[in-house]
Amino acid sequence: MEKLRHMMNPLDFSVEELEELFDLAGDIEKDLPGYAHKCDGKILATCFYEPSTRTRLSFETAMIRLGGQVIGFADANSSSAAKGESVADTIRVISCFADICAMRHPKEGAPMVAASKSTIPVINAGDGGHQHPTQTLTDLLTIRSLYGSLKNFTIGLCGDLKFGRTVHSLINALSRYEGIRFIFISPKELKVPDYITEMLRQKNIPYEEVIKLEEVMPQLDFLYMTRVQKERFFNEEDYIRLRNFYILDKEKMALAKENMFILHPLPRVNEISVEIDDDPRAAYFKQVQYGMYVRMALILTLLGIK
């Protein structure tokens, strides 16, 4: 039997293993019908203790497209967590029912606790403000597909860099590739956490922190926009003051390179004006599609199915 593997952090896979995963996702994209029965008889459990549309449905669609089936809950209140059951006990129970589990939790580290007690692979589908590895796999696959490689570009990350777990996960993952330059664009209240800039300094990876998006726009190959994470704010007033700090519109896009791509993990609130959606540089809906392919590839890999 293969060793039990989980996906808690994008760094759980080596760069070479990620390459294999992305190649597999690429194959799936080209030949969906060829993968339609790879998971016949397998069950995915989605345990979501925090709201989600994309991530949960993307996991579920991924499993269904592989021929498997899905069980789970989309809301902690409809699970035994409402009766006080621990994550450790819930995963022991889920391990008796399903072959693989995707878990989202508002508490940082909860999926790791689950993984330590689980007898099936557990995928972290987002833990608090910490990590969101499958969004990162989605982002990396999108960049690789649009740009042709994961090396030598300047990426601007804009918005809520303090609470945005997709941002933390992506910077972490990109820090292993050559020639990446980061530009962090945020109000001073929402700057990227110190542990991240410290990691970049230690690895000698160039980064800049700015407040004005317009100032750096012409330098970017990718612009990763993010929503201000309302649910992680301590007070409503701060949220209201900061929520519309950045709104990407045609005027700002006129400053960008012709081949710059806009990414966004979604959901979007106001930070990208809908007038941009038809711009060929807007890649955020395409990104959703890559998310499904990469989750299909991850399910196959963790289940050890060739």
**Which residues participate in catalysis according to the annotation?**
54-55, 83, 104, 132
Q: Is 54 in the site for ligand NCD (CB under 6 A)?
A: yes
118's CB contacts (< 8 A; 6+ apart) are 4, 6, 91, 92, 94, 95, 101
CB atoms < 10 A from the CB of 12, how many?
13
Binding mask 67-106 for ligand NCD (x = CB under 6 A): ----------------------------------------
Q: Is 191 in the site for ligand NCD (CB under 6 A)?
A: no
Q: Which CB atom, from 61 or from 95, has the smaller least distance to ligand NCD? A: 61
* Structure-token pair, residue 22: 């992305």
Least distance between ligand NCD and beta carbon 32 (Å): 22
Q: Is 111 in the site for ligand NCD (CB under 6 A)?
A: no
CA dist 60 and 298 (Å) reads: 13
According to CB under 6 A, which one of 38, 42, 227, 295 is a site residue for ligand NCD? 227
According to CB under 6 A, which one of 118, 124, 135, 186 is a site residue for ligand NCD? 135
Q: Is 10 in the site for ligand NCD (CB under 6 A)?
A: no
Q: Which CB atom, from 155 or from 205, has the smaller least distance to ligand NCD? A: 155
Alpha carbon 26 to chain centroid distance?
18
Judged by CB under 6 A, how many residues of this single chain contact ligand NCD?
Answer: 11
Amino acid type, 33: P
Least distance between ligand NCD and beta carbon 54 (Å): 5
Judged by CB under 6 A, the chain residues 241 through 300 that form the site for ligand NCD are 265-267
Half-sphere exposure of 289 (CA within 13 A, CB side): 12
Least distance between ligand NCD and beta carbon 287 (Å): 9
According to CB under 6 A, which one of 118, 166, 172, 186 is a site residue for ligand NCD? 166
Q: Is 126 in the site for ligand NCD (CB under 6 A)?
A: yes
According to CB under 6 A, which one of 38, 42, 165, 168 is a site residue for ligand NCD? 165
Q: Is 132 in the site for ligand NCD (CB under 6 A)?
A: yes
Q: Which CB atom, from 137 or from 205, has the smaller least distance to ligand NCD? A: 137
Q: Residue 282 pairs with which residues in a beta bridge?
A: 262
Q: Which CB atom, from 266 or from 300, has the smaller least distance to ligand NCD? A: 266
Least distance between ligand NCD and beta carbon 261 (Å): 17
> How far is the CA of 43 from the CAs of 133, 289, 304, in angstroms?
21, 22, 14
> How far is the CA of 9 from the CAs of 96, 127, 134, 218, in angstroms?
25, 10, 9, 32
* Structure-token pair, residue 101: 């589990």
Kind and range of the H or E run holding 261: strand 261-263
Q: What does the buried/exposed string (b/e) look like for 76-97 if buried means 16 or more CB atoms within 10 Å of the residue's CB?
A: beebebeeeeebeebbeebbee
Chain residue whose CB lies nearest ligand NCD: 265
Nearest Cα residue to 180 out of 158, 197, 204, 196: 204
Q: Is 9 in the site for ligand NCD (CB under 6 A)?
A: no
Nearest Cα residue to 246 out of 281, 272, 275, 221: 272
Least distance between ligand NCD and beta carbon 132 (Å): 5
Footprint on this chain of ligand NCD (rule: CB under 6 A): 54-55, 126, 132, 135, 165-166, 227, 265-267
